[in-house]
Structure 1
Amino acid sequence: MRDSNLSEPELLKTILQPLLDDFQYWFARSRNFLETEQLNFMSSQEQSALLERVKQAQEEVNTAKMLFTATEGQVGIDMATLMPWHQLLSQCWKVAMYFRTENPSSQQQDGR
């Protein structure tokens, strides 16, 4: 439950900062996965295109986090910016789950 005594900047720091950290973490994992695994169910062009989208999103998240930090949490992020990141991560999670279904031995090797 939200503390109604928090100011808007404090609320942004409480919600947005961990969200940006999560995006950074999951995009880094997705990037590593796409760079290190050969996905037989995707063409190399599809995999490269997905990897490029992840790299672009990483840059966007890093920029947003730098702005957020530089303004000491005074700047929010529009939902129109967040939703494509979320959709891209959902796509990456689906690809990774499908990969693990097709390659059950990979789960023991990388601990995911």
Structure 2
Amino acid sequence: MATDGLSDKEVKNKEAGEKPAIKAKETAKTPETTKTQQQLIYVGPNLPGGRLSRFRVFKEGIPSYLDDIVKSNPDISRLIVPIEVFTAVLARVSTPGTIEHAAAQKLIERQGEA
């Protein structure tokens, strides 16, 4: 029988029908994988001046150049969401009565005032 580079113990376990033990180093997460930030997308209206446009994707979190906008308009942070929930949040932006819809409407109204 070919051992395919397996140790004697692994060969015996394989013959007995046992699943191979997972080595600790294979399952341990490295600091690089645990500290990566998820991709985010902005689903609100375009903001004047081109600083933030609808469907803008952020690969490493919200960039620091947007800190002042996010602090002055808390509704923006409600509209920057993980890519994984993009479709659901986009639907709520279009649905009256949702938090996301209200946040988008406030941003649109502020643009009209400016």
TM-score (ref. length: structure 1): 0.30
Q: Which has the higher strand share?
A: 2
- Which one has a bigger Cα radius of gyration? 2
TM-score (ref. length: structure 2): 0.30
Higher RCO structure, 1 or 2 (CA under 8 Å, sep 6+)? 1
Q: Which has the higher helix share?
A: 1
